A and B are shown apart, each in its own frame.
Chain A
Amino acid sequence: MIEGLVLVVLGTAALAWLVSPVESLVWWERRGAREMEAAAQEYLAAMDEPGDASRTPRTFLVYLSGIAAFDDNLIARAESLLLRRLQEGVPELTILHEIYPYAVDNRGLIDDRRSGRFWRWFAGWQGHKRFAALFNLVVNIRNVYQVMVSVDPRYGPVFSAGIAQTIWRQVRDAGYAPQDRIVLLGWSGGAQIGAGAAWYLGAAGAHVTFLSMGGIFHADPGLERCERIIHLVGTRDWQARWFAPLVFPGRRRWVKRSSWNRALAEGRATQRFIGPFKHVGRGSYLSGKRLPGGESCFAVTVAALVEELTAESR
Protein backbone atom coordinates (compact mmCIF):
# COMPACT_ATOMS: atom_id res chain seq x y z
CA MET A 1 0.00 0.00 0.00
CA ILE A 2 2.85 2.39 0.84
CA GLU A 3 4.50 1.59 -2.49
CA GLY A 4 1.24 2.37 -4.28
CA LEU A 5 0.90 5.66 -2.46
CA VAL A 6 4.50 6.60 -3.30
CA LEU A 7 3.85 5.77 -6.94
CA VAL A 8 0.72 7.90 -6.99
CA VAL A 9 2.57 10.83 -5.42
CA LEU A 10 5.54 10.55 -7.78
CA GLY A 11 3.25 10.12 -10.76
CA THR A 12 1.28 13.22 -9.80
CA ALA A 13 4.47 15.21 -9.33
CA ALA A 14 5.77 14.06 -12.73
CA LEU A 15 2.49 14.93 -14.42
CA ALA A 16 2.47 18.37 -12.78
CA TRP A 17 6.01 18.90 -14.06
CA LEU A 18 5.01 17.94 -17.59
CA VAL A 19 2.02 20.27 -17.72
CA SER A 20 3.69 23.18 -15.90
CA PRO A 21 4.31 25.16 -19.13
CA VAL A 22 0.67 24.87 -20.18
CA GLU A 23 -0.51 27.87 -18.14
CA SER A 24 1.96 30.19 -19.87
CA LEU A 25 1.28 28.76 -23.31
CA VAL A 26 -2.49 29.05 -22.92
CA TRP A 27 -2.11 32.63 -21.72
CA TRP A 28 0.05 33.48 -24.72
CA GLU A 29 -2.24 31.75 -27.17
CA ARG A 30 -5.43 33.42 -25.84
CA ARG A 31 -4.30 36.89 -24.76
CA GLY A 32 -0.58 37.24 -24.39
CA ALA A 33 0.39 38.08 -27.94
CA ARG A 34 -2.31 40.77 -28.19
CA GLU A 35 -1.38 42.20 -24.80
CA MET A 36 2.25 42.40 -25.86
CA GLU A 37 1.31 44.55 -28.85
CA ALA A 38 -0.76 46.85 -26.63
CA ALA A 39 2.03 47.01 -24.07
CA ALA A 40 4.50 48.01 -26.77
CA GLN A 41 2.30 50.94 -27.71
CA GLU A 42 2.09 51.93 -24.05
CA TYR A 43 5.84 51.72 -23.63
CA LEU A 44 6.41 54.00 -26.61
CA ALA A 45 3.79 56.46 -25.42
CA ALA A 46 5.38 56.50 -21.96
CA MET A 47 8.80 57.19 -23.41
CA ASP A 48 7.37 59.98 -25.53
CA GLU A 49 5.93 61.79 -22.54
CA PRO A 50 7.71 65.11 -22.08
CA GLY A 51 8.41 64.43 -18.42
CA ASP A 52 9.11 66.94 -15.70
CA ALA A 53 12.80 67.93 -15.89
CA SER A 54 12.68 69.37 -12.37
CA ARG A 55 11.31 66.18 -10.89
CA THR A 56 13.80 64.00 -9.03
CA PRO A 57 13.91 60.52 -10.51
CA ARG A 58 12.21 58.00 -8.28
CA THR A 59 13.23 54.44 -7.48
CA PHE A 60 10.64 51.68 -7.61
CA LEU A 61 11.48 48.51 -5.73
CA VAL A 62 9.62 45.51 -7.10
CA TYR A 63 9.79 42.60 -4.66
CA LEU A 64 9.64 39.06 -6.03
CA SER A 65 9.21 36.54 -3.27
CA GLY A 66 10.74 33.09 -2.91
CA ILE A 67 9.22 29.79 -3.94
CA ALA A 68 7.14 29.46 -0.78
CA ALA A 69 4.79 32.22 -2.00
CA PHE A 70 1.30 31.22 -3.02
CA ASP A 71 -0.58 34.50 -3.40
CA ASP A 72 0.13 38.05 -4.56
CA ASN A 73 -1.72 39.58 -1.60
CA LEU A 74 -0.30 37.39 1.13
CA ILE A 75 3.29 37.83 2.17
CA ALA A 76 5.20 36.02 4.89
CA ARG A 77 5.67 37.90 8.14
CA ALA A 78 9.45 38.03 7.87
CA GLU A 79 9.26 39.35 4.31
CA SER A 80 6.63 41.92 5.26
CA LEU A 81 8.91 43.11 8.06
CA LEU A 82 11.82 43.20 5.64
CA LEU A 83 9.93 45.49 3.28
CA ARG A 84 8.90 47.75 6.18
CA ARG A 85 12.53 48.06 7.29
CA LEU A 86 13.64 48.81 3.73
CA GLN A 87 11.02 51.55 3.49
CA GLU A 88 12.22 53.01 6.77
CA GLY A 89 15.84 52.77 5.69
CA VAL A 90 15.24 54.31 2.27
CA PRO A 91 12.13 56.51 2.61
CA GLU A 92 12.24 57.72 -1.00
CA LEU A 93 11.70 54.16 -2.27
CA THR A 94 8.34 53.16 -3.72
CA ILE A 95 7.91 49.51 -2.84
CA LEU A 96 5.62 47.22 -4.83
CA HIS A 97 5.07 43.69 -3.62
CA GLU A 98 1.65 42.62 -4.88
CA ILE A 99 3.15 40.45 -7.55
CA TYR A 100 2.87 36.71 -7.61
CA PRO A 101 6.08 35.74 -9.42
CA TYR A 102 5.09 32.17 -10.25
CA ALA A 103 2.12 32.79 -12.52
CA VAL A 104 2.29 34.44 -15.90
CA ASP A 105 -0.86 36.51 -15.28
CA ASN A 106 -0.30 37.35 -11.60
CA ARG A 107 -2.97 34.98 -10.33
CA GLY A 108 -2.07 33.53 -6.97
CA LEU A 109 -2.77 29.88 -6.27
CA ILE A 110 -5.86 30.70 -4.23
CA ASP A 111 -7.17 33.22 -6.74
CA ASP A 112 -9.67 32.68 -9.50
CA ARG A 113 -8.13 29.75 -11.36
CA ARG A 114 -9.25 26.23 -12.23
CA SER A 115 -7.23 24.72 -9.41
CA GLY A 116 -8.12 27.57 -7.04
CA ARG A 117 -10.64 25.48 -5.14
CA PHE A 118 -8.09 22.80 -4.44
CA TRP A 119 -5.47 25.32 -3.29
CA ARG A 120 -7.94 27.18 -1.08
CA TRP A 121 -8.94 23.90 0.55
CA PHE A 122 -5.31 22.88 0.96
CA ALA A 123 -4.30 26.31 2.30
CA GLY A 124 -7.02 25.97 4.91
CA TRP A 125 -5.06 23.11 6.48
CA GLN A 126 -2.05 25.29 7.23
CA GLY A 127 -3.19 25.61 10.80
CA HIS A 128 -2.44 21.92 11.36
CA LYS A 129 1.27 21.35 11.95
CA ARG A 130 1.74 18.23 9.79
CA PHE A 131 -0.25 19.62 6.91
CA ALA A 132 1.45 22.99 7.03
CA ALA A 133 4.76 21.32 6.16
CA LEU A 134 3.08 19.29 3.41
CA PHE A 135 1.37 22.42 2.03
CA ASN A 136 4.69 24.29 1.94
CA LEU A 137 6.37 21.37 0.20
CA VAL A 138 3.71 21.14 -2.49
CA VAL A 139 3.74 24.91 -3.08
CA ASN A 140 7.54 24.92 -3.27
CA ILE A 141 7.57 22.12 -5.83
CA ARG A 142 4.88 23.79 -7.90
CA ASN A 143 6.79 27.07 -7.90
CA VAL A 144 10.10 25.38 -8.73
CA TYR A 145 8.40 24.04 -11.86
CA GLN A 146 7.49 27.62 -12.81
CA VAL A 147 11.09 28.72 -12.25
CA MET A 148 12.09 25.96 -14.69
CA VAL A 149 9.51 27.31 -17.14
CA SER A 150 11.13 30.74 -16.79
CA VAL A 151 14.55 29.26 -17.49
CA ASP A 152 13.48 27.11 -20.46
CA PRO A 153 14.33 28.95 -23.72
CA ARG A 154 11.11 27.65 -25.31
CA TYR A 155 8.74 28.98 -22.68
CA GLY A 156 10.80 31.54 -20.77
CA PRO A 157 10.21 34.45 -23.17
CA VAL A 158 6.45 33.95 -22.90
CA PHE A 159 6.49 33.55 -19.13
CA SER A 160 8.75 36.56 -18.65
CA ALA A 161 6.60 38.66 -20.96
CA GLY A 162 3.62 38.07 -18.69
CA ILE A 163 5.58 38.90 -15.56
CA ALA A 164 7.03 42.03 -17.16
CA GLN A 165 3.55 43.21 -18.10
CA THR A 166 2.39 42.77 -14.51
CA ILE A 167 5.38 44.72 -13.23
CA TRP A 168 4.91 47.36 -15.89
CA ARG A 169 1.27 47.92 -14.98
CA GLN A 170 2.04 48.21 -11.29
CA VAL A 171 4.92 50.66 -11.69
CA ARG A 172 2.87 52.78 -14.09
CA ASP A 173 -0.04 52.83 -11.64
CA ALA A 174 2.40 53.94 -8.95
CA GLY A 175 3.46 56.92 -11.08
CA TYR A 176 6.50 55.63 -13.01
CA ALA A 177 8.05 58.01 -15.53
CA PRO A 178 10.81 57.21 -18.05
CA GLN A 179 13.59 58.79 -16.00
CA ASP A 180 12.79 56.65 -12.95
CA ARG A 181 14.62 53.50 -11.91
CA ILE A 182 13.24 50.03 -11.33
CA VAL A 183 14.97 47.71 -8.89
CA LEU A 184 13.91 44.07 -9.14
CA LEU A 185 14.58 42.50 -5.75
CA GLY A 186 14.32 38.74 -6.02
CA TRP A 187 14.69 36.25 -3.22
CA SER A 188 15.65 32.70 -4.10
CA GLY A 189 13.58 31.64 -7.12
CA GLY A 190 12.11 35.13 -7.36
CA ALA A 191 15.49 36.29 -8.65
CA GLN A 192 15.16 34.18 -11.79
CA ILE A 193 11.68 35.57 -12.36
CA GLY A 194 13.09 39.10 -12.09
CA ALA A 195 15.98 38.33 -14.43
CA GLY A 196 13.56 37.16 -17.10
CA ALA A 197 11.30 40.20 -16.74
CA ALA A 198 14.30 42.53 -16.93
CA TRP A 199 14.65 41.74 -20.63
CA TYR A 200 11.33 43.37 -21.46
CA LEU A 201 11.54 46.21 -18.99
CA GLY A 202 15.01 47.14 -20.22
CA ALA A 203 13.85 46.82 -23.80
CA ALA A 204 11.15 49.36 -23.05
CA GLY A 205 13.85 51.82 -22.01
CA ALA A 206 13.52 51.42 -18.23
CA HIS A 207 16.61 51.76 -16.04
CA VAL A 208 16.67 48.36 -14.41
CA THR A 209 18.76 47.13 -11.50
CA PHE A 210 18.68 43.45 -10.63
CA LEU A 211 19.14 42.86 -6.90
CA SER A 212 19.34 39.28 -5.74
CA MET A 213 19.05 38.14 -2.14
CA GLY A 214 20.22 34.55 -2.10
CA GLY A 215 18.89 34.36 -5.62
CA ILE A 216 18.88 31.21 -7.69
CA PHE A 217 18.94 32.34 -11.28
CA HIS A 218 20.54 31.35 -14.52
CA ALA A 219 22.47 33.48 -16.98
CA ASP A 220 19.23 34.83 -18.35
CA PRO A 221 19.36 37.11 -21.40
CA GLY A 222 17.49 39.60 -19.24
CA LEU A 223 20.72 40.27 -17.36
CA GLU A 224 22.00 41.94 -20.52
CA ARG A 225 19.38 44.64 -20.07
CA CYS A 226 20.19 45.45 -16.46
CA GLU A 227 22.29 48.51 -15.77
CA ARG A 228 23.44 46.94 -12.51
CA ILE A 229 23.36 43.42 -11.10
CA ILE A 230 23.94 42.91 -7.40
CA HIS A 231 23.99 39.37 -6.03
CA LEU A 232 23.94 39.29 -2.22
CA VAL A 233 24.60 35.83 -0.87
CA GLY A 234 25.35 34.12 2.42
CA THR A 235 28.54 32.13 2.81
CA ARG A 236 26.57 29.09 4.02
CA ASP A 237 23.93 29.33 1.32
CA TRP A 238 24.93 26.30 -0.74
CA GLN A 239 21.82 26.57 -2.88
CA ALA A 240 22.76 30.02 -4.22
CA ARG A 241 26.53 29.43 -4.21
CA TRP A 242 26.90 25.92 -5.59
CA PHE A 243 23.56 24.52 -6.67
CA ALA A 244 22.72 27.40 -9.05
CA PRO A 245 25.99 27.10 -11.06
CA LEU A 246 25.55 23.33 -11.06
CA VAL A 247 22.13 23.36 -12.71
CA PHE A 248 22.64 26.53 -14.73
CA PRO A 249 25.84 26.18 -16.79
CA GLY A 250 25.86 29.87 -17.72
CA ARG A 251 26.65 30.73 -14.11
CA ARG A 252 29.92 28.79 -14.14
CA ARG A 253 33.06 30.87 -14.13
CA TRP A 254 34.52 29.37 -17.28
CA VAL A 255 31.47 30.04 -19.46
CA LYS A 256 32.86 33.41 -20.45
CA ARG A 257 30.22 34.28 -23.03
CA SER A 258 27.23 33.94 -20.73
CA SER A 259 25.26 37.03 -19.80
CA TRP A 260 26.30 36.63 -16.16
CA ASN A 261 30.03 36.35 -16.79
CA ARG A 262 29.96 39.14 -19.37
CA ALA A 263 28.25 41.38 -16.82
CA LEU A 264 30.95 40.50 -14.27
CA ALA A 265 33.69 41.27 -16.80
CA GLU A 266 32.06 44.59 -17.70
CA GLY A 267 31.78 45.58 -14.07
CA ARG A 268 27.97 45.70 -14.22
CA ALA A 269 27.61 42.77 -11.86
CA THR A 270 28.95 42.28 -8.37
CA GLN A 271 28.61 39.41 -5.94
CA ARG A 272 28.83 40.14 -2.22
CA PHE A 273 28.95 37.76 0.72
CA ILE A 274 26.93 39.52 3.38
CA GLY A 275 27.18 37.05 6.23
CA PRO A 276 27.23 33.40 7.31
CA PHE A 277 23.65 32.87 6.19
CA LYS A 278 21.95 29.70 5.07
CA HIS A 279 19.31 29.69 2.37
CA VAL A 280 16.36 28.76 4.59
CA GLY A 281 15.59 28.04 8.19
CA ARG A 282 17.38 29.14 11.31
CA GLY A 283 20.43 31.15 10.34
CA SER A 284 19.01 32.23 6.98
CA TYR A 285 18.80 35.76 5.60
CA LEU A 286 15.62 36.75 7.45
CA SER A 287 16.22 34.69 10.54
CA GLY A 288 16.30 36.23 13.97
CA LYS A 289 19.32 34.16 14.97
CA ARG A 290 22.08 36.21 16.57
CA LEU A 291 25.49 36.31 14.93
CA PRO A 292 28.72 36.40 16.98
CA GLY A 293 28.78 40.21 16.66
CA GLY A 294 25.39 40.45 18.39
CA GLU A 295 23.27 41.46 15.41
CA SER A 296 20.58 39.23 14.00
CA CYS A 297 20.82 37.73 10.51
CA PHE A 298 17.75 39.77 9.64
CA ALA A 299 19.37 43.07 10.68
CA VAL A 300 22.57 42.35 8.73
CA THR A 301 20.56 41.48 5.61
CA VAL A 302 18.47 44.64 5.94
CA ALA A 303 21.61 46.74 6.34
CA ALA A 304 23.16 45.24 3.19
CA LEU A 305 19.99 45.83 1.17
CA VAL A 306 19.57 49.38 2.49
CA GLU A 307 23.17 50.14 1.52
CA GLU A 308 22.57 48.97 -2.05
CA LEU A 309 19.18 50.64 -2.37
CA THR A 310 20.48 53.93 -0.99
CA ALA A 311 23.15 53.91 -3.70
CA GLU A 312 20.43 53.19 -6.29
CA SER A 313 18.27 56.04 -5.07
CA ARG A 314 20.98 58.68 -5.45
Chain B
Amino acid sequence: MDWSRFLLRVVETASSVARGRPDPGMVDGDTESWLVALAIAFVSAVSGMVAHAGFLAINRVQGRRLVAAAVLAFAQLLVALAFQGVVLWLCLLPLGEVMPVGTIVRVVLLSTAPLWWGAIAIAPYVGPLVGRVLWAWTLIALVGQLGVLLPWERRWQIVLVVAVAWLAARLAAALVDPPVQWVRRRVWRSVMGAPMVLSIDEQLVREAPVAVAQKLAPPGRDLGHRVAR
Protein backbone atom coordinates (compact mmCIF):
# COMPACT_ATOMS: atom_id res chain seq x y z
CA MET B 1 0.00 0.00 0.00
CA ASP B 2 1.19 3.48 -0.85
CA TRP B 3 1.06 5.00 2.66
CA SER B 4 1.80 8.55 1.65
CA ARG B 5 -1.03 8.51 -0.87
CA PHE B 6 -3.32 6.89 1.65
CA LEU B 7 -2.50 9.46 4.34
CA LEU B 8 -3.00 12.27 1.85
CA ARG B 9 -6.40 10.84 0.95
CA VAL B 10 -7.31 10.65 4.66
CA VAL B 11 -6.37 14.29 5.22
CA GLU B 12 -8.12 15.50 2.06
CA THR B 13 -11.26 13.54 2.86
CA ALA B 14 -11.40 14.82 6.43
CA SER B 15 -10.87 18.36 5.21
CA SER B 16 -13.65 18.03 2.62
CA VAL B 17 -16.09 16.56 5.12
CA ALA B 18 -15.33 19.22 7.74
CA ARG B 19 -15.81 22.01 5.20
CA GLY B 20 -19.15 20.57 4.13
CA ARG B 21 -17.95 19.59 0.64
CA PRO B 22 -18.51 15.85 0.45
CA ASP B 23 -16.99 13.99 -2.46
CA PRO B 24 -19.31 11.34 -3.94
CA GLY B 25 -16.33 9.01 -4.16
CA MET B 26 -16.19 9.00 -0.35
CA VAL B 27 -19.16 6.71 -0.05
CA ASP B 28 -17.70 3.93 -2.22
CA GLY B 29 -17.78 0.56 -0.55
CA ASP B 30 -14.22 -0.52 -1.36
CA THR B 31 -11.65 -1.49 1.24
CA GLU B 32 -9.67 1.71 0.97
CA SER B 33 -12.78 3.81 1.61
CA TRP B 34 -13.40 1.80 4.78
CA LEU B 35 -9.79 2.30 5.86
CA VAL B 36 -10.04 6.03 5.19
CA ALA B 37 -13.22 6.24 7.26
CA LEU B 38 -11.66 4.24 10.10
CA ALA B 39 -8.50 6.35 9.98
CA ILE B 40 -10.54 9.54 10.30
CA ALA B 41 -12.41 8.09 13.28
CA PHE B 42 -9.12 6.96 14.85
CA VAL B 43 -7.57 10.43 14.66
CA SER B 44 -10.79 11.81 16.15
CA ALA B 45 -10.48 9.34 19.03
CA VAL B 46 -6.85 10.29 19.66
CA SER B 47 -7.72 13.98 19.55
CA GLY B 48 -10.47 13.27 22.04
CA MET B 49 -7.93 11.58 24.29
CA VAL B 50 -5.85 14.74 24.34
CA ALA B 51 -8.98 16.58 25.43
CA HIS B 52 -9.33 14.10 28.27
CA ALA B 53 -5.78 14.49 29.49
CA GLY B 54 -7.19 15.19 32.92
CA PHE B 55 -8.84 11.79 32.99
CA LEU B 56 -5.59 10.15 31.92
CA ALA B 57 -3.58 12.09 34.50
CA ILE B 58 -5.77 11.09 37.42
CA ASN B 59 -5.57 7.49 36.33
CA ARG B 60 -1.80 7.92 35.90
CA VAL B 61 -1.80 6.41 32.45
CA GLN B 62 1.62 6.33 30.79
CA GLY B 63 3.70 4.36 28.30
CA ARG B 64 2.10 1.13 27.10
CA ARG B 65 -1.00 1.83 29.15
CA LEU B 66 -1.38 5.08 27.21
CA VAL B 67 -1.29 3.15 23.94
CA ALA B 68 -3.83 0.70 25.34
CA ALA B 69 -6.01 3.64 26.42
CA ALA B 70 -5.88 5.03 22.85
CA VAL B 71 -6.94 1.68 21.47
CA LEU B 72 -9.76 1.43 24.03
CA ALA B 73 -10.91 4.97 23.22
CA PHE B 74 -10.96 4.13 19.52
CA ALA B 75 -12.87 0.90 20.13
CA GLN B 76 -15.41 2.73 22.27
CA LEU B 77 -15.86 5.42 19.63
CA LEU B 78 -16.27 2.78 16.91
CA VAL B 79 -18.96 0.97 18.86
CA ALA B 80 -20.79 4.26 19.54
CA LEU B 81 -20.56 5.37 15.90
CA ALA B 82 -21.60 1.97 14.55
CA PHE B 83 -24.58 2.06 16.90
CA GLN B 84 -25.44 5.57 15.70
CA GLY B 85 -25.11 4.38 12.09
CA VAL B 86 -27.49 1.49 12.66
CA VAL B 87 -30.03 3.77 14.34
CA LEU B 88 -29.72 6.25 11.44
CA TRP B 89 -30.17 3.43 8.91
CA LEU B 90 -33.36 2.36 10.72
CA CYS B 91 -34.62 5.96 10.72
CA LEU B 92 -34.03 6.20 6.96
CA LEU B 93 -36.21 3.18 6.23
CA PRO B 94 -39.56 5.02 6.70
CA LEU B 95 -38.37 7.48 4.02
CA GLY B 96 -38.25 4.61 1.59
CA GLU B 97 -34.48 4.85 1.37
CA VAL B 98 -33.02 1.37 1.58
CA MET B 99 -29.26 1.24 1.32
CA PRO B 100 -26.59 -0.97 2.84
CA VAL B 101 -26.16 -0.36 6.57
CA GLY B 102 -22.39 -0.42 5.98
CA THR B 103 -22.69 2.66 3.78
CA ILE B 104 -24.50 4.56 6.52
CA VAL B 105 -21.98 3.47 9.15
CA ARG B 106 -19.15 4.60 6.87
CA VAL B 107 -20.82 7.99 6.41
CA VAL B 108 -21.14 8.33 10.19
CA LEU B 109 -17.43 7.52 10.59
CA LEU B 110 -16.52 10.14 7.99
CA SER B 111 -18.64 12.75 9.74
CA THR B 112 -16.31 12.63 12.78
CA ALA B 113 -13.73 14.64 10.81
CA PRO B 114 -14.50 17.88 12.72
CA LEU B 115 -13.47 16.05 15.91
CA TRP B 116 -9.87 16.27 14.71
CA TRP B 117 -10.05 19.63 16.49
CA GLY B 118 -11.30 17.85 19.62
CA ALA B 119 -7.98 18.36 21.41
CA ILE B 120 -9.01 21.99 21.89
CA ALA B 121 -11.48 20.77 24.51
CA ILE B 122 -8.52 20.41 26.87
CA ALA B 123 -8.55 24.19 27.25
CA PRO B 124 -9.78 25.26 30.66
CA TYR B 125 -13.34 26.46 31.21
CA VAL B 126 -14.26 27.06 27.57
CA GLY B 127 -12.94 23.70 26.37
CA PRO B 128 -16.09 21.63 27.05
CA LEU B 129 -18.18 24.20 25.17
CA VAL B 130 -15.81 23.85 22.22
CA GLY B 131 -16.27 20.08 22.45
CA ARG B 132 -20.05 20.43 22.22
CA VAL B 133 -19.73 22.79 19.24
CA LEU B 134 -17.55 20.21 17.49
CA TRP B 135 -20.09 17.46 18.08
CA ALA B 136 -22.78 19.73 16.61
CA TRP B 137 -20.45 20.25 13.66
CA THR B 138 -20.27 16.47 13.15
CA LEU B 139 -24.05 16.38 12.83
CA ILE B 140 -23.88 19.11 10.20
CA ALA B 141 -21.16 17.15 8.42
CA LEU B 142 -23.36 14.05 8.60
CA VAL B 143 -26.22 15.92 6.94
CA GLY B 144 -23.79 17.01 4.23
CA GLN B 145 -22.63 13.45 3.70
CA LEU B 146 -26.17 12.12 3.46
CA GLY B 147 -26.82 14.80 0.85
CA VAL B 148 -24.48 12.81 -1.42
CA LEU B 149 -26.55 9.64 -1.05
CA LEU B 150 -30.01 11.13 -1.13
CA PRO B 151 -31.69 13.65 -3.44
CA TRP B 152 -30.92 17.17 -2.32
CA GLU B 153 -34.62 18.08 -2.56
CA ARG B 154 -35.12 15.94 0.53
CA ARG B 155 -32.58 17.91 2.55
CA TRP B 156 -35.03 18.94 5.28
CA GLN B 157 -36.10 15.33 5.68
CA ILE B 158 -32.41 14.47 5.96
CA VAL B 159 -31.98 17.06 8.73
CA LEU B 160 -35.03 15.70 10.54
CA VAL B 161 -33.86 12.10 10.21
CA VAL B 162 -30.39 12.96 11.50
CA ALA B 163 -31.88 14.82 14.48
CA VAL B 164 -34.29 11.99 15.29
CA ALA B 165 -31.55 9.38 14.88
CA TRP B 166 -29.24 11.35 17.15
CA LEU B 167 -31.93 11.66 19.84
CA ALA B 168 -32.83 8.00 19.53
CA ALA B 169 -29.18 6.99 19.78
CA ARG B 170 -28.71 9.15 22.89
CA LEU B 171 -31.82 7.72 24.51
CA ALA B 172 -30.81 4.17 23.73
CA ALA B 173 -27.28 4.85 24.96
CA ALA B 174 -28.64 6.19 28.24
CA LEU B 175 -30.72 3.04 28.68
CA VAL B 176 -27.83 0.70 28.07
CA ASP B 177 -25.30 2.89 29.93
CA PRO B 178 -25.08 0.88 33.19
CA PRO B 179 -24.05 -2.43 31.60
CA VAL B 180 -21.82 -0.59 29.13
CA GLN B 181 -20.02 1.17 31.99
CA TRP B 182 -19.67 -2.15 33.79
CA VAL B 183 -18.08 -3.72 30.73
CA ARG B 184 -15.92 -0.62 30.23
CA ARG B 185 -14.62 -0.78 33.79
CA ARG B 186 -13.97 -4.51 33.57
CA VAL B 187 -12.05 -4.16 30.31
CA TRP B 188 -10.12 -1.20 31.71
CA ARG B 189 -9.21 -3.10 34.84
CA SER B 190 -8.02 -6.18 32.96
CA VAL B 191 -5.96 -4.09 30.52
CA MET B 192 -4.60 -1.53 32.96
CA GLY B 193 -4.39 -3.65 36.06
CA ALA B 194 -6.01 -0.93 38.15
CA PRO B 195 -9.56 0.32 38.71
CA MET B 196 -10.86 2.92 36.33
CA VAL B 197 -11.49 6.37 37.70
CA LEU B 198 -13.90 8.32 35.57
CA SER B 199 -13.43 11.76 36.99
CA ILE B 200 -11.32 13.79 39.29
CA ASP B 201 -14.33 13.90 41.62
CA GLU B 202 -14.28 10.13 41.81
CA GLN B 203 -10.57 10.14 42.59
CA LEU B 204 -10.99 12.82 45.19
CA VAL B 205 -13.81 10.90 46.81
CA ARG B 206 -11.24 8.22 47.45
CA GLU B 207 -8.31 10.34 48.43
CA ALA B 208 -9.61 13.69 49.59
CA PRO B 209 -8.97 14.55 53.21
CA VAL B 210 -12.65 14.43 54.04
CA ALA B 211 -13.00 10.96 52.60
CA VAL B 212 -9.91 9.65 54.33
CA ALA B 213 -10.91 11.37 57.54
CA GLN B 214 -14.38 9.88 57.35
CA LYS B 215 -12.88 6.46 56.85
CA LEU B 216 -10.60 6.81 59.84
CA ALA B 217 -12.62 8.91 62.26
CA PRO B 218 -14.92 7.47 64.91
CA PRO B 219 -18.63 7.37 64.04
CA GLY B 220 -20.58 10.56 64.71
CA ARG B 221 -17.45 12.71 64.66
CA ASP B 222 -18.06 16.22 63.33
CA LEU B 223 -15.53 16.77 60.57
CA GLY B 224 -16.56 20.13 59.23
CA HIS B 225 -19.33 21.64 57.18
CA ARG B 226 -21.82 19.85 55.06
CA VAL B 227 -20.48 18.36 51.85
CA ALA B 228 -21.38 20.34 48.74
CA ARG B 229 -22.08 17.38 46.50
- A interface vs B, CB < 8 Å? 17-18, 20-22, 25-26, 28-29, 33, 36-37, 39-41, 43-44, 47, 145, 148-149, 151-155, 157-158, 161, 199-200, 202-206, 221-222, 224-225, 227, 259
Contact = CB atoms under 8 A, between A and B. Distances in A.
Contacts of B126: 148
Residue of A39, A158, A204, A205 most packed against chain B (CB within 10 A): A205
Given A21-B122, A44-B217, 5 more contacts: A20-B124, A28-B57, A158-B58, A158-B200, A205-B223
B96 interface: no
A258 to B, nearest CB: 11
Interface of B: 53-55, 57-58, 60, 119-120, 122-128, 199-201, 203-204, 207-213, 216-217, 222-229
A225 B207 contact: no
Secondary structure dominating the interface of A: helix
Given A202-B225, A225-B224, A18 B212 contact: no
A44 B43 CA distance: 47
A41 B209 CA distance: 8
A36 B213 contact: no
A21 B209 contact: no
B46 to A, nearest CB: 16
B124 A151 contact: yes
Contacts of B122: 18, 21
A145 B217 CA distance: 38
A154 B131 CA distance: 14
Nearest to B62: A29
Contacts of A25: 53-54, 57
Nearest to A19: B122
Q: Can you list the 5 inter-chain pairs with the closest CB atoms, starting with the nearest?
A: A40-B212, A203-B210, A25-B57, A224-B228, A148-B124
A36 B208 contact: yes
B120 to A, nearest CB: 7
Contacts of A20: 123-124
Contacts of A203: 208-210, 213, 223-225, 227
Contacts of A161: 204, 208
Contact of B226 (A18, A26, A224): A224
A33 B58 CA distance: 8
Nearest to A159: B124
Contacts of B210: 203-204
A21 B58 CA distance: 13
Contacts of B124: 17, 20-21, 145, 148-149, 151-152, 155
